Chain A
Amino acid sequence: MTSRLLLRRKAVNAVMLTLTGLCTLFATGTLVFILGYLFIHGGKSLTWNFFTKLPTPVGESGGGMANAILGSAKLLAVAMVVGVPIGFLGGVYLAEFGGTTFSFIVRYTTDLLNGVPSIVIGIFAYTVIVLPQKHFSTMAGGLALGVMMIPIAVRSTEEFLRAVPVSLREGAVALGASKAKAILTVVIPAAKNGIMTGIMLNLARVAGETAPLLFTSFSNRYWSPGWEQPTAALPVMIFTYAIAPYEDWHQQAWSAGFVLLTLVLAVNVIARMILSKAKHVAR
């Protein structure tokens, strides 16, 4: 081999290594940048009031977003009640009982549903609930988020159930268990941690959704008792406050962004910890 060729290879290697390294740095750097930016801007104006007080009228300083935090929690609760059972049971059916053709159709449909823009899901909930009732509500917002959860809940449940080795099913069936009993007592418990992780990640994903809430739960400057009234939610508050022309509202929006991101990240980290434990058990 001539030394010129060797030199050329070394040069190409150096260039490509730098290029791929920079791209990786950019990908992870974005998250670090967002985190740092939010921490600096949001963290510094974050006070205890943010978690306990209602928003103040324009011009008055202070106040918080307690109603939006509670509102987000309520919306997610409704979303879970809608999305988790449908997604979970649909996933069980798909993994364990679905025929080949039918499963293919269902899988294809859920993938399509997953690809539907979130604002369209919002319009769906608007048409189905808000229009007939003639008012915005927590229920409508929760339903929109719940519908968004379904496709991922179906698919993640299906994936984790399929990952349970055939040998475990055979072991249960060979002891006289029916197929349903084997699924209930062996397969689902074996996939439990994975399924839970999937649901948590799913929840963390819809927690940040803004578009489906704009014309379903709308927003609210006050507490929203019950489920039938418009409610504030963190992502919508960030939107409203960020585009407002007041400096202290911008500060509040930063804080809200910081709180939301922290919650989402915390859920993500916890979910991944559960999952790594699950993998450890599975093999």
Chain B
Amino acid sequence: MQAPIRQPSPELNMPLPDMNVQAAGEQRPALDTELKLSATDLNFFYGTFQALHSISMKIYSGRVTAFIGPSGCGKSTFLRTLNRMNETVRHSRVEGTILLDGEDIHQLEVSEVRRRVGMVFQKSNPFPKSIFENVAYGLRINGSPNRATLREAVEHSLRRAALWDEVKDKLHQSAYGLSGGQQQRLCIARALAVNPEVLLLDEPCSALDPIATAKIEDLIFQLKSSCTIAIVTHNMQQAARVADYTGFFLLGRLIEFDRTAVIFKTPARKETEDYVTGRFG
């Protein structure tokens, strides 16, 4: 689906999902009006340090939204506020509202937020348990389903994460026996097992080789029909390949947010253009 060859200039060879839709005769896909997550005036503080400044963003249902920007720009921090993971950091404080299907996530039970908004981390973090138990974990802690349901759900999740064929014969072996790319897909399967509505991916490919990266990107394409995806990436080509929307962050501010094609081809802001053309960062 995507070109595995890295192009020196991202402008030349990009899949542009929205343009394809336009080519099919539609002006704007109706889906994009359906909001999944929205942040309004979001500020975030680590102690006295303000990491996010007044960020407002809309994340559309069934779309892939990428966050790009140089290290320390706040893109991961922003991602982690979307499922309230940042609350585990001591002395942190959040201001502003985040709505999930119109409900304020800070009013919801935190475990419910995290079940509905799943997360996959930069470094794969399988539990020191069997492959099966890793995927079953989320289901077990959210009540204990019977064995048949559990087996079915584990298989379904592993299939969705395109890992089933590789692990079906060793479900009860340790997850640490898998390769780095497989471990990361296992973590995706683990997140998918609780049927999240949104999947947050925090630089999921930064520790993977190009082949494993391509597999994860394929997966993102397949998953977006059933799940809204937000992905933080350091790799601009990756954002160009997988994302429908892209937000560019700089120094804790959201500089520009638009359709991916716009961000990479005709950005409105000078900083965005400098970054996507590789002039800094």
Interface residues of A (CB under 8 A from B): 165, 167-178, 181, 185-186, 189-190, 281-282
CB-nearest residue of chain B to A177 = B141
Bound-state Cα–Cα, A20 to B127, Å: 43
* A/B interface sample: 29 pairs, CB < 8 A: A167-B121, A167-B123, A167-B125, A168-B128, A170-B121, A171-B125, A171-B126, A171-B187, A172-B127, A172-B141, A173-B85, A174-B85, A174-B118, A174-B191, A175-B114, A175-B115, A175-B141, A175-B191, A176-B111, A176-B112, A176-B115, A176-B138, A177-B111, A178-B111, A185-B140, A186-B137, A281-B128, A281-B174, A282-B128
CB-nearest residue of chain A to B114 = A176
- The answer to whether A168 and B141 touch (CB under 8 A), given A173-B85, A175-B115, A281-B176, is no
CB-nearest residue of chain B to A280 = B176
Q: Are A175 and B128 in contact (CB under 8 A)?
A: no
Residue among A176, A186, A190 having the largest count of chain B Cβ atoms under 10 Å: A176
**B contact residues, range:** 20 to 34
The interface residues of chain B lying within 8 Å CB-to-CB of A172 are: 127, 137, 141
B71 is an interface residue with CB less than 8 A from chain A: no
Bound-state Cα–Cα, A71 to B142, Å: 47
The tally of CB-CB contacts under 8 A between chains A and B is: 66
CB-nearest residue of chain A to B190 = A175
The interface residues of chain B lying within 8 Å CB-to-CB of A190 are: 127-128
CB-nearest residue of chain B to A169 = B88
Contact with A along B117-147 (1 / 0, CB 8 A): 0110101011111000000011011100000
B158 is an interface residue with CB less than 8 A from chain A: no
New A-B contacts (4) at CB < 8 Å, excluding given A172-B141, A175-B141: A167-B125, A171-B127, A185-B140, A190-B127
- The answer to whether A181 and B141 touch (CB under 8 A), given A168-B127, A190-B128, A281-B176, is yes
CB-nearest residue of chain A to B193 = A175
Task: Say whether chain A's binding surface is mostly helix, strand, loop, or mixed.
Answer: helix
The interface residues of chain A lying within 8 Å CB-to-CB of B140 are: 185
Q: Are B111 and A171 in contact (CB under 8 A)?
A: no
Bound-state Cα–Cα, A282 to B125, Å: 11
B61 is an interface residue with CB less than 8 A from chain A: no
B228 is an interface residue with CB less than 8 A from chain A: no
CB-nearest residue of chain A to B85 = A174
- The answer to whether A175 and B194 touch (CB under 8 A), given A167-B121, A167-B125, is yes
Shortest CB–CB separation between residue A168 and chain B, in angstroms? 6
Bound-state Cα–Cα, A177 to B85, Å: 12
Shortest CB–CB separation between residue B140 and chain A, in angstroms? 8
Shortest CB–CB separation between residue B203 and chain A, in angstroms? 13
CB-nearest residue of chain B to A185 = B141
Q: Are B127 and A173 in contact (CB under 8 A)?
A: no
CB-nearest residue of chain A to B90 = A100
